[in-house]
Structures are given as structure tokens and as C-alpha cells.
Amino acid sequence: MLKNRYFWLFMSPLSILLLWETSTRSGLLDPRFFPAPSAIFNYLLFTSPSEGLWVDISASLYRIFWGYLAGCASGIALGVIMGLNHTVRVMIYPLVALLYPIPKIAILPLIMLVFGIGEMSKIVIVAIGSFFLVLINTLHGVDSVAKIYHDVAQVYRIKKHNFILRVILPGASPAIFTGLKLAIGYSLVIVVAAEFSGADAGIGYLIWQSWETFSIKAMYAGIFVIGALGLAFSLTLNFLERRLTPWRDDDK
Amino acid sequence: MHISVTRLGKTFFRKKQQTIAYENLNFHIRQGEFFCILGPSGCGKTSLLRTIAGLEAATSGELNIQPLDSSKPSSIGMVFQEHGLFPWMTIRNNIRFLLENNAHMVGYDLDAIVNEFIHLVGLTKFADYFPHQLSGGMRQRVSIARSFANEPDILLMDEPFVFLDYQTRCALHGLLLEIWQRKKKTLVFVTHDIEEAVFLADRVLVMSAHPGTVKTIIDISLPRPRDFLTLRKLPAYQNQVNELMELLRAEDEALDHNNKQPV
């Protein structure tokens, strides 16, 4: 039954929505606070000021895209360097352990102080959030590359760049992908939180604005969009993972 | 090509404890010979091979590897016990990747070399498979192809067939000898299997354990090309096997005796 994962991809959320729909229609839930999903979708797709919604979504996507890209690229790079160079690792690891547990949204004011209240501060906060998750997972991945591959590379005098690109990175890729998946979800969390204050567009801005003006349907529309984006991102990453690591196709 | 080992020794230091892997080893390996290092587990034979490979450093004595062409550094190929292939590369790319990084291979048609060696080990149909899609025996065929394809001065093999079943091991012994005779490489082969050593080697270095030392070096004067089914019927073969068995059994008894001594 679980073979048909695409069936469940739609069925699982659909059944919750169906339960919600009937609960609202039967009067079990207050439609002022819990409007029926059909009404929310109707708002989302047809009656919302289409320009506004799209502006908010694209604003958030823009911040996520650049922030995630910068954070992941630098996280992978530093993770590989720390994994292969003991000195760098010993010097940098305490900083990572110190900074990683600080909630990233707590340093948003500091970031805005440095990078201003514009786009850059939101991109930077997303980048920082992604960076640590990808860094820590990449480091773990590099550590997990079996010693024998280091031996083979040493005996056959594999050049450094080939060693990193074709031995270390593929060997670490399962852990790196774990980091990338955690980071994309976290990016959504951070960008929405960052947009709650000090933004003039974005999904977080839309939700906050709608709450303040009691536009409950618009608020839910924002939440639905976040969920849909999260789903789309994780499907994309799963697809990429299968594509880029074909030797692991029997794992799952 | 010539390897000379003089008073070579290695001691591990771990948590203030010393363990002698091997000590005072003296022997030579000649150009083009099939040299087996035979010994019980724990006699330091793998450690010795890793030292020759440059993966570990000895702590005393001298290891001198004279390259064939003295203008270039000697090149070494190695086959490991198992899992030596990169799981993320196809069979073809596992071989090609090492060639691409081999300074001696610049200017050669790498694809032709890859195809030749894949063919030599009978895996042409599986060239684009990943290692996990192959059996253990097929994977070691690839490891052998990979090590020979690099045209190294010395080939080192660390019990490459230890995890294979008997039938597969016999087939690979035959294949290894065939390729070795064709390519004329100096080959150093570590094993604890007496019959394997006698069947393959020109000379067998017998090691004793705790600490590893050279017990003796024995010439195996069996005719080549060797075929296992014919060879094992020869009295000369049986004699060689028996001689080595007795040597190693004496080793075991000495060890037992030592262990029973009060410390």
C-alpha cells in the first residue's frame, strides 16, 4: 500500500482538510476563526488581490533563495575544510558550538543594525540559519568517509581537488543532504519570523498584517502558502538527492 | 625496481602502552617476483605492507624502494581486503579516476586502457554498474584491474580474497596469476592462507608473531604457468604446503607456551 507514495502525498493532507471542512460546515468550529479550507482556497486562488499575494510570495522566495544558497555554499565549504584540516577544526569548532544554539531570530536586531532594515538583513539571517545546520552536517559527513578511501587516495596519489570533489563530497553527501533538508525548512521559519517585523512585503508580513486587520482568510492563505512551499522544497531536494546520488538508489 | 628492508621495525604507542608490530626485519624483494608474506593474524604483516605503501611510517630501520626509472618516483598500486572501490563511481570510473590522477598516464588514451583491463577481468558487461550491484568476487576483480591498469612499479595486495568463498577465491587466483604473468609486475601479497601462498608465490616470507619477525624465506620452485587442479596433485606442492604448515604450527606452539608462562 505504501508503494504508492504519490497517492499518500495528496491523501494525507487532503483527509485533514476534509475533516476540517466538515467540522466548520457542521458548526463544530467557529468559521470566524477557522474558515473552511474551501473558503481559504477560494480566497487564495480567486478573490485575493492577486498582485499583493504574488508580491509577498516572491519577496519571501527571493530572500530564501539567496540566503539559503549563500548559507549552504559556505556551510559545505567550511565543513569540508574543518573536516580535512585538524588545525582549522580545533580553532573554529568552539565558535560553532557557541554560536549554533543561539536562536537566529534573536540576533535579527543586531543583523538589522549592521545590514540595515532592507533585503540584505533578511537574506543574511536566512544564510546564517542555513549555514550552521549545513556546516555541522557536512562536518559529520566528512568524518564518516571511511578511512579506506583516504588510503586509496593516498596510495594512488589523488590530487587534492579531485580528492575533495570526487571522494570527500560524494562520501559526505548523505549527511550533506540531511543538512540541506533541515536548512530549507529552517529558512522558511526564519524568513517568516523576520518578516513579522521590519518588512513591507513577504509571507510573514502578509500573515502579521492580516492578523492585525483581522483578515483571517488572508492569514490562513499565508499559512497554506508556507506549507505548500515547504512541501515543494522537500520534494525538490528529495528529487535532487536521488539524481545526484544514484549509487544509493537501493537504500530506500 | 628493488625493495630492500633493513632492520625495519615499528612500535605503536597507545595510551602509554607500547605494542611492537614488527621488529628487525631484513629482506629483499626482486624485480618482477611474486612475493608472499605469510603469517598468523597479529604478526604485523598488514602493518608491514602499509609501511611499504607509504600509509604508515616505520619507527626504526630502513625501507628502500628503488624505482624502475630513477628519474620518476616509484609508483605503487594496492588492493585492499574489501570495500576499496568508491561506491559512488561506476566500475569504469573507479578505474578511470585513478588513471586521471596518475602522472605517468598523461597523454595515453585512458578509455582504451580502462576497456582493456575491464575486459581482462571479464567484466565488460558490468562496466557501468556501481560496486554495490556486483558480487564480492566481481568487486575484487575490479580492484585487481584498477591496480594493474595504473602500471605501477610495485603491486601490494592485503589479503584481497579473504572474504570470498572458496570457489571464487580459486577462480581469482587463476586470474591474478594470468594477469601478473602477462604484465610482469613486482607483486607483494599478504596472506595467512598457506595454500594460497604456495600456489601464487615465487618466494614466501614466513613471519612469526608477537612481535613480528622474519622466521624464514622459502623458495617455491613450482613450475609456471600454474593451474590449481594439476598443481595440487604434485608431491612437490604438497611438500611445500606441509613444510609451511609445520613452520606455522611450531609458531603456534611457541606462542601457547609463552602465554602459559606466568608473567
Residue B209 CB contacts under 8 Å (≥ 6 apart), including other chains: B39, B40, B41, B42, B43, B44, B251, B255
**Interface size, chain A vs chain B, as Cβ–Cβ contacts under 8 Å:** 56
B132 has a chain A CB within 8 A of its CB: yes
Is the Cβ pair B80, A152 closer than 8 Å?
Answer: yes
* Partner residue opposite B101 with nearest CB, options A159, A246, A250: A159
Find the mean pLDDT for residues B138-143.
94
Is the Cβ pair B101, A148 closer than 8 Å?
Answer: no
Q: What grid cell was written down for B62?
A: 630502513
Residue B225 CB contacts under 8 Å (≥ 6 apart), including other chains: B177, B178, B181
* Partner residue opposite B80 with nearest CB, options A148, A246, A250: A148
Spatial strand order of the sheet with B2-14 comes to B17-29, B2-14, B60-66
> Residue B192 pLDDT > 90, yes or no?
yes
**Of A203, A206, A56, A64, which Cα lies nearest the Cα of A125?**
A64
Give the dihedral of Cα atoms B105, B107, B108, B110; nearest 10 deg.
80
| pLDDT (tens digit per residue) in B99-121 | 999 988 889 999 999 999 999 99
> Which residues of chain A make contact with B76, given a CB cutoff of 8 A?
155
> Which residues of chain A make contact with B86, given a CB cutoff of 8 A?
149, 152, 166-167, 170
Is the Cβ pair B77, A155 closer than 8 Å?
Answer: yes
Rounded Cα distance between A138 and A77, Å, is 9
Bridge partners of B130, per DSSP, are: none
Is the Cβ pair A146, B80 closer than 8 Å?
Answer: no
Is the Cβ pair B78, A152 closer than 8 Å?
Answer: yes
Rounded Cα distance between B9 and B212, Å, is 9
> Which residues of chain B make contact with A145, given a CB cutoff of 8 A?
none
* pTM given for the model: 0.88
Strands B154-158 and B76-79: parallel
Q: Which amino acid is at B203?
A: R
* Partner residue opposite B55 with nearest CB, options A151, A166, A247: A151
Taking only the tens of pLDDT, chain A with its 252 residues reads 556 777 888 888 899 999 999 999 998 999 889 999 999 998 888 877 767 788 999 999 999 999 999 999 999 999 999 999 999 999 999 999 999 999 998 999 999 999 988 899 999 999 999 999 999 999 999 999 999 999 999 999 999 999 999 999 999 999 999 999 999 999 999 999 999 987 889 999 999 999 999 889 899 999 999 999 999 999 999 999 999 998 887 554
Spatial strand order of the sheet with B34-38 comes to B76-79, B154-158, B186-191, B34-38, B203-208, B213-219
Find cell 624465506 and name the residue: B217
pLDDT of residue B42: 80
DSSP state of B212: B
Is the Cβ pair A155, B89 closer than 8 Å?
Answer: no
Other Cβ atoms within 10 Å of A129 Cβ, number: 26
Strands B186-191 and B154-158: parallel
* Partner residue opposite A170 with nearest CB, options B88, B150, B156: B88
Q: What grid cell was written down for A215?
A: 483578515
ipTM metric: 0.90
